[in-house]
A and B are shown apart, each in its own frame.
Chain A
Amino acid sequence: MKRRSAWLGLSAIAAAGVSVLAIADQTTPIRGLHEHNPSLVALTNATLITEPGTRLENATLVIEHGVIRSIERNNRAPAGARVVDATGYTIYPGFIDPYSNYAVAKPEPRGPRGRGQMPQYSNAREGGNGSNAAIHAERTWYETVTASKRDAKGYIDLGFTAVQTARLDGIFRGRAATVSLADQLPNDIIYRSHGRHFASFDKGSSAQQYPSSLMGSIALIRQTLSDAAWYKEAQGLHSANGPVEFNAPLAALASVANDGVVFEASDEQNLLRASHVFAEFSVPLTVLGSGFEYSRINAVKSTGSTLILPLGFPAAPELNGQFAELDVSLTDLRHWERAPGNPAAVANAGITFAFTTHGLDKKDDFWANIRKAIDYGLKPEQALAALTTVPAEIAGVANQAGRLAAGYRADLVVSRGDLFTDGEIVSVWLQGQEQRLKDMHPASFVGDYSLELNGQSLTLSVSGEGRLQGKLSAGETEVKLTQLSSDDNKLYFTADLTAFGIAGVHRFRLQPDSLTGFSGRAQNTASELLTFTATRPEPETTPAAERRQAGTPKYVSQLTWPNTGFGVTTQPEQTNLHIRNATVWTADSQGVLAETDIIVRNGLIHRIGKNLPTPRGYQVIDATGMHVTPGIIDEHSHIAISQGVNEGTEAVTAEVHIGDVVNPDDIHIYRSLAGGTTVAHLLHGSANPIGGQGQAIKLRWGQGAEGLKFKEVPPTIKMALGENVKQSNWGDMNRIRYPQTRMGVAAMMRDYFQTAREYEQAKADYARLSRSERRRTAPPRTDYRMETLLQIVNNERHTHVHSYVASEIVSLMDVVDELGFKIHTFTHVLEGYKVADEMREHGARASTFADWWAFKFEAYDAVPQNTCGMMNKGVLTSINSDSNDLQRRLNTEAAKSVRYCGMDEHEALKMITLYPAMQLEVDKYVGSLTVGKQADFVLWNAHPLSAYAQPQQTWIEGRKYFDRQADLARRAEIANERKLLLELVLSKGSEAQRGNSNGYRPTPPTWHCEDNHDVWRWQEFSQLNNATQSFEMLTFEMKGAH
């Protein structure tokens, strides 16, 4: 009888359906009657999961006025409480999504931008806003909150009761609010008005040019955080040029280190980048992850960031058509297999994380994916924590939500069965009010009934799932039922009873009175009613499924660093070596040594000589017939850079840093190793006169971004002259940015470097102030742009200047001579042969192309004899690639100087080894095979400059990073792994196609000097490129981009 009452009681509440305000509207004057609905409710006999890992059986949850009044460890409800029998049900704390844009104003759409539009360099100013339109940290999104029943439903259906929400637009997006999903007054649903700051790298709807690249966004964040710290000190004081301005976003960020930031990262590399830049200002981060965290889990762990994980596991790559796999990489196949294991990987690493529905294509997949994550190794209580206590912390409501405890919000999830196994949510309580999703006790009418009708004993049989069918029978006589349907607790059908001796077609209604007893009535067409009773044996209850436990997935895919076919599972070991009997191209004064041995010890070149004894324990390489050269060094490279090589928006962007966006996953690192290259100097592009800071890397394939960095290289920067910086080939709209002429370029250089000197002076002036004067004076604002220029002026940061024609080269040297510093290296410098005397006199070095010309007007006087022309005049010259293709074969690029102007072969080799090392100021460490230098070298099967040379092995610091034989073996493994994964996908059929449709990383572009699109605006490229859709055309366009 217990269950019977539950059945009736609950349906009574559902039927009531009145909007009962759980929390009184406390400040609005009452204009009608004063309503006082009772709000004391007791959910009895429930299984309560009060928090992850704590389970109370047969307990009672008492709620009143929208909060939990008490938890009773018995079945007694307090007097006067409305009782809801929750026998057989499990009650969880309501779930909290820490990342949403629920109930707040939507951003402006991103307008069309690109070279067909007039560029917008500044931000409309109003109300003390920031100078960059992507920085609106002063916004507090609670101000726009209004409940949305429609949007809330998607969350509530999954068991969510509260979300942290902000407008997801821009870089500093403003402060989030945490709100209940209840359909109530904003005043009642706002749980926390001033939540965390939301942020991302994506400038969003900002129409302003800056920043157009990832490194630009990072630099802008760095400058903004620095400015916020400065503003806190300087506010209200006078600076050298007047009173300090009012600045709303800087004021809002004053306490950002305490408030915390929720950062949207599009992949695990951006997660690491964001963590680094915010760590510089001791701002703790909570990061919206990407699902790729597992691929660099240790690095992710070491950031100490809390994560918010999306559950959008990708659908398998499309493989339907024959040879469709030609478009599918092992990288993607692996991710398809391993993405469901990401939450477990994160949990096992000990990283605190919450789940979000953000980024899930189909919200209905949410629970299926959580269960999948458990099958892939996540513990159910970890999953629960990720839905309750952790997001409550992140959303700043841990003192009122995320647990079942007295005083907490009455935000509950009631489920039939264990939710993490196969349970279903039947109702969600928001602030003490039930939102019913399913019947708590749905009647099932399936079964055989004994029916007494008009004195006859009939058997009623009902069967079927969903669509019911049935019959009435007595002995041999059978009548099929039609129009069968049921609602909450009534069964309806129609039957012609003539066969049983009762004339006419009757419409039946049957309803339960108890677990086994039913009553009903039948109406004939003459409106006569027959009443009857029926009994049915108690249906067998299916035993509850065993609770789902963390599974142990068996992957057929490998996990490598980077996680791509040619990735590695371990870093190569540093090996002590004896290379025997090679032709050694030393690239130093020893020249080329025949039949010579090299001893490598602890990563350094230890000895070079003939017939050396093998030290004990050394690995011997018999290099008879082979050649050894130093590792190749590329002065000008754009590989391994994420999301934009140019911050080519403003004319001077010296604050941006390639080092912030090194991409260790770029396959070109490996391909260049296979061409004998060991060091690449990654440069900003050439779209503006003073571009960004460079970053040298060693091609330590498999390392993360930090591990790639060649830290001994002193700071560098890219500058540029000529057509690119004056926007000659940017179309008619781009004619407003200063400079548009080579005259203007020279003037601008003079102006900015002069200003850097004055900046230095201002800092010195402040440092000299007395303590009392300092109290009245604002400290000088740190300007990273000026800081960088100052390093250049002080010869602490070496310039690498993209240049073509004679006039601009001499002009720049003229300007900097005046200002008292030196240009370090001109790069490209295609007319260097014309002004080699002037360059030598200035002390400038040169790095050029082997034979590129005629791709634009300023390259019309380029000659392939440029190297000889400069070298003969005493200018230190190197050959660079500026191309991921040429970087694989710089040896034959150097050989072109032998071809075109008869350069000595050893000198030609130095142009890609020793001389670029000197240009990077690291010839102490690398660039030649000299005792004491780092053991970066290449083994070749033939004369290293000949067309027939093939690198066999490439070593960095005594570690073998490339081996042709190992590479050939690896290809077979890749083919096999691909085969296994293809079979797995195809054998899963349509099941494999479930999931997010855009779940894979897009193929990154090949960057060129001049590629200057806005990475935050893909639309125009999509349109442009789909219009032409021609591979040839695209590659052709790119060829011109140097």
Chain B
Amino acid sequence: MKGFLGLLLFLVALPIQAHNIAPGAEAKQAILLQGGTLHTVSHGSLEQTDLLIVDGKIAAMGKELTVPANAQIINVSGQHVYPGLIALDTTLGLIELEQARPTNDMREVGTVTPEVLAHHAFNADSDIIPTIRYMGITHAQTVPQGNLVNGRSSLMQLDGWNWRDALEVGPVALHVSWPRIGLNSAWWERRTPAEQHKANAEAYQELLQVFVMAKAYHEGRLEGTQTRVDQRWEAMRGLFTGDLQLFVHADDRRQLEQALQFNREYGFAMTFVGARDSWMMADTLAELKTPVIFGYPYGLPSRVDDGYDTAYATPAMLHAAGVDFAIAYPGYWDSRNLAFGAGNAVAYGLDYQAALRAITLTPARFMGVDKSLGSLDVGKQATLIVSAGDVLDHLGQRIEYMFIDGREVNLSNRQLQLYEKYSERPNN
């Protein structure tokens, strides 16, 4: 017992915070991060290199940069600078407490709800969000949930006053949960295989019908024959104009194959989300250049005969085959483990730089914002983080600074404050 009494009380060195954590203010001066290891993602890692932020942009990177007048200098030598991490496929801002229904805005009623926009419910004041930033995540894609055609997602920056302020870009994609194809063998399942196949086929027919309608509607609008507005089909028009991507949530190999087949007809900009079995068809996905957002970095094997590390090793397999992939950690409070999930992929064979890219630059590209986000490049947004050590490793990650669009972000959060409060309790 004596051992832990001797433990040093460890606190992140942060200014004492009021309970409200305001979004960062625009910098009034240039900021120079001096002497850090810059993990650019786009062009390798640069040791002992300076990075200059001017007007919210990365103005320069290089050894011993000249310090502009009035610049704020932050010594980050021995520390690591990364582009801000981007968490795809989350429900951040849509839910606060899973079992408190009033806080849950994730899922609209009905199976076909393309009209809903995730950012319309995004709670920029969620107490969850600061805990996500604390782990190096600057942006999150917030996604409506559902059971067939779920709605449209947006990319949010995580330090905004309200959703409009926080909206980085959106809507980005229409989300479809692909109907099940395989059989369910759970203990409660009493339908015969034939009954299950029938139900699965019906759900697929329903989905096909949705797209037939949406397409006819779009063409009718173009021709002027469709005079009445239908919010559902109106919301899907972007798919046909190329303004909206299609994100297909599918896990089973047969679903992935069916969706590829489906998209031969439509030719949408289609990305797979979840994609548990993507490793089985990595070559096909690489050949077709179908992007994959792999959502199971810590996944359990989905089949009893699968290796215990099948999900762990999937990113490495996708990378080896040349698949264009990102790594996600779907969820809300737990999405903060994104970097560790990428680290686990490294433990099971993924190249380190590829792992970093899978949670920064590739997600930025998938969201259509890689011109401004996702890597440390001159001219891009100064959206970056400084970590005491390796950001993918629990033992190294400690986020000392975060900048979003050049604004320094307050890293405090409800949890830290509670801990600090009780650390101040006198011993008795």
Residues on A close to B: CB < 8 A? 318, 322-323, 326-327, 329-331, 564-566, 667, 670-671, 674-675, 723, 728-729, 833-834, 837, 851-857, 859-865, 868-869, 871-874, 876-877, 884-885, 888-889, 892, 895-896, 898-899, 901-905, 907, 910, 942-943, 945-950, 967-968, 971, 974, 978, 997, 1000, 1002-1005, 1018-1019, 1021-1022, 1025-1026, 1028-1033, 1036, 1039-1040
Closest chain B residue to A902, Cβ basis: B10
Closest chain B residue to A1020, Cβ basis: B188
Question: Of B188, B348, B392, B395, which contacts A950 at CB under 8 A?
Answer: B348
Q: Which of B58-115 contact A (CB under 8 A)?
A: 96-100
Selecting from B165-173, B189-197, B216-224, the interface stretch reads B189-197
Selecting from B178-186, B231-239, B362-370, the interface stretch reads B178-186
Q: Is the CB of A329 within 8 A of B188?
A: no
Interface residue tally of chain B, by bracket?
A: 35 or more
* Least distance between B244 CB and chain A CB atoms (Å): 21
Closest chain A residue to B277, Cβ basis: A326
| Whole-angstrom CA separation of A978 from B10 in the bound complex | 53
Q: Is the CB of A901 within 8 A of B10?
A: yes
30 A-B pairs with CB atoms under 8 Å apart are A326-B303, A327-B185, A329-B305, A566-B305, A667-B304, A671-B300, A728-B99, A833-B419, A854-B98, A855-B98, A856-B98, A869-B422, A869-B423, A872-B4, A873-B427, A884-B300, A885-B298, A889-B344, A943-B395, A945-B394, A947-B393, A948-B343, A950-B347, A1003-B186, A1005-B186, A1005-B187, A1018-B190, A1028-B147, A1029-B203, A1031-B180
Given contacts A330-B305, A945-B394, A978-B305, are A903 and B10 in contact (CB under 8 A)?
A: yes
Given contacts A318-B183, A854-B128, A876-B1, are A948 and B393 in contact (CB under 8 A)?
A: yes
Closest chain B residue to A1018, Cβ basis: B188
Closest chain A residue to B195, Cβ basis: A1026
The reply on B164 being an interface residue by CB < 8 A is no
| Whole-angstrom CA separation of A898 from B304 in the bound complex | 34
Closest chain B residue to A1030, Cβ basis: B147
Given contacts A854-B332, A902-B8, A971-B307, are A833 and B99 in contact (CB under 8 A)?
A: no
Question: Of A899, A902, A907, A1000, which contacts B397 at CB under 8 A?
Answer: A899
Given contacts A671-B308, A946-B395, are A901 and B419 in contact (CB under 8 A)?
A: yes
Closest chain B residue to A329, Cβ basis: B304
Given contacts A861-B418, A901-B10, are A837 and B145 in contact (CB under 8 A)?
A: no
Question: Of B9, B187, B304, which contacts A331 at CB under 8 A?
Answer: B304
Residues of B within 8 Å of A857, CB to CB, are 97, 99-100
Given contacts A869-B419, A888-B308, A902-B8, are A854 and B333 in contact (CB under 8 A)?
A: yes
The reply on B253 being an interface residue by CB < 8 A is yes
The reply on B398 being an interface residue by CB < 8 A is yes
Q: Is the CB of A837 within 8 A of B428?
A: yes
* Least distance between A904 CB and chain B CB atoms (Å): 6
| Whole-angstrom CA separation of A675 from B252 in the bound complex | 25
Given contacts A871-B7, A872-B7, A948-B347, are A856 and B187 in contact (CB under 8 A)?
A: no
* Smallest CB-CB A-B distances: 9 pairs: A902-B10, A947-B343, A1021-B188, A895-B394, A856-B99, A1002-B187, A871-B4, A865-B419, A863-B415
Given contacts A871-B7, A947-B347, A1026-B191, are A674 and B308 in contact (CB under 8 A)?
A: yes
The reply on B319 being an interface residue by CB < 8 A is no
| Whole-angstrom CA separation of A971 from B1 in the bound complex | 44
Question: Of B182, B188, B333, B427, which contacts A1022 at CB under 8 A?
Answer: B188
Interface of B is mostly: loop
Q: Is the CB of B303 within 8 A of A1004?
A: no
Residues of A within 8 Å of B3, CB to CB, are 907, 910
Closest chain B residue to A1028, Cβ basis: B147
Q: Is the CB of B308 within 8 A of A967?
A: yes
| Whole-angstrom CA separation of A1000 from B187 in the bound complex | 10
Q: Which of B244-292 contact A (CB under 8 A)?
A: 249, 251-254, 274, 277
Residues of A within 8 Å of B9, CB to CB, are 868, 872
Q: Mark B322-358, 1 if CB is under 8 A from A, else 0.
A: 0000000001111011001001101110000000000
Q: Is the CB of A868 within 8 A of B7?
A: yes
Residues on B close to A: CB < 8 A? 1, 3-5, 7-11, 96-100, 127-128, 145, 147, 177, 180, 182-183, 185-193, 199, 203, 249, 251-254, 274, 277, 298, 300-301, 303-305, 307-309, 331-334, 336-337, 340, 343-344, 346-348, 392-395, 397-398, 415-416, 418-419, 422-423, 425, 427-428
* Least distance between A203 CB and chain B CB atoms (Å): 17
Given contacts A837-B427, A1021-B188, are A1029 and B304 in contact (CB under 8 A)?
A: no
| Whole-angstrom CA separation of A314 from B416 in the bound complex | 57
Residues of A within 8 Å of B301, CB to CB, are 671
* Besides A903-B10, A947-B394, A1031-B251, 7 other A-B contacts (C-beta < 8 A): A675-B308, A837-B427, A863-B416, A863-B418, A967-B308, A1028-B147, A1039-B98
Given contacts A947-B346, A1021-B188, are A856 and B100 in contact (CB under 8 A)?
A: yes
| Whole-angstrom CA separation of A947 from B396 in the bound complex | 10
| Whole-angstrom CA separation of A971 from B99 in the bound complex | 40
Q: Is the CB of A892 within 8 A of B394?
A: yes
Number of A-B contacts (CB under 8 A): 211
Q: Is the CB of B300 within 8 A of A885?
A: yes
Q: Is the CB of B253 within 8 A of A323?
A: yes
Residues of A within 8 Å of B145, CB to CB, are 1032-1033, 1036
* Least distance between B387 CB and chain A CB atoms (Å): 11
| Whole-angstrom CA separation of A948 from B316 in the bound complex | 14
* Least distance between A813 CB and chain B CB atoms (Å): 15
Question: Of B5, B182, B191, which contacts A327 at CB under 8 A?
Answer: B182
Residues of B within 8 Å of A851, CB to CB, are 334, 336-337
Residues of B within 8 Å of A565, CB to CB, are 304-305
Q: Is the CB of B398 within 8 A of A1003?
A: no
Q: Is the CB of A1032 within 8 A of B249?
A: yes
Residues of A within 8 Å of B419, CB to CB, are 833, 863, 865, 868-869, 901
Closest chain A residue to B393, Cβ basis: A947
Q: Is the CB of A329 within 8 A of B5?
A: no
* Least distance between A858 CB and chain B CB atoms (Å): 9
Residues of B within 8 Å of A327, CB to CB, are 182-183, 185
Q: Is the CB of B147 within 8 A of A1022?
A: no
| Whole-angstrom CA separation of A864 from B190 in the bound complex | 41
| Whole-angstrom CA separation of A910 from B2 in the bound complex | 14
| Whole-angstrom CA separation of A318 from B192 in the bound complex | 10
Given contacts A857-B100, A902-B10, A1005-B186, are A674 and B309 in contact (CB under 8 A)?
A: yes
Closest chain B residue to A977, Cβ basis: B305
Residues of A within 8 Å of B333, CB to CB, are 853-855
| Whole-angstrom CA separation of A943 from B390 in the bound complex | 14
Residues of A within 8 Å of B182, CB to CB, are 326-327
Q: Is the CB of A853 within 8 A of B7?
A: no
* Least distance between B137 CB and chain A CB atoms (Å): 14
Residues of B within 8 Å of A904, CB to CB, are 7
Question: Of B192, B274, B394, which contacts A899 at CB under 8 A?
Answer: B394
Q: Is the CB of A949 within 8 A of B347?
A: yes
| Whole-angstrom CA separation of A860 from B186 in the bound complex | 32
Closest chain B residue to A840, Cβ basis: B1
* Least distance between B19 CB and chain A CB atoms (Å): 13
Residues of B within 8 Å of A888, CB to CB, are 300, 308
Question: Of A564, A863, A943, A1002, which contacts B189 at CB under 8 A?
Answer: A1002
Residues of B within 8 Å of A852, CB to CB, are 334
| Whole-angstrom CA separation of A645 from B182 in the bound complex | 28
| Whole-angstrom CA separation of A675 from B347 in the bound complex | 13
* Least distance between A908 CB and chain B CB atoms (Å): 9
Residues of B within 8 Å of A945, CB to CB, are 394-395
| Whole-angstrom CA separation of A596 from B180 in the bound complex | 53
* Least distance between B186 CB and chain A CB atoms (Å): 6
| Whole-angstrom CA separation of A329 from B343 in the bound complex | 31
* Least distance between A840 CB and chain B CB atoms (Å): 9
Which of B11, B177, B182, B418 has the most chain A CB atoms closer than 10 A to its own CB? B418
Given contacts A860-B97, A1026-B191, A1028-B147, are A899 and B395 in contact (CB under 8 A)?
A: yes
Closest chain A residue to B398, Cβ basis: A899
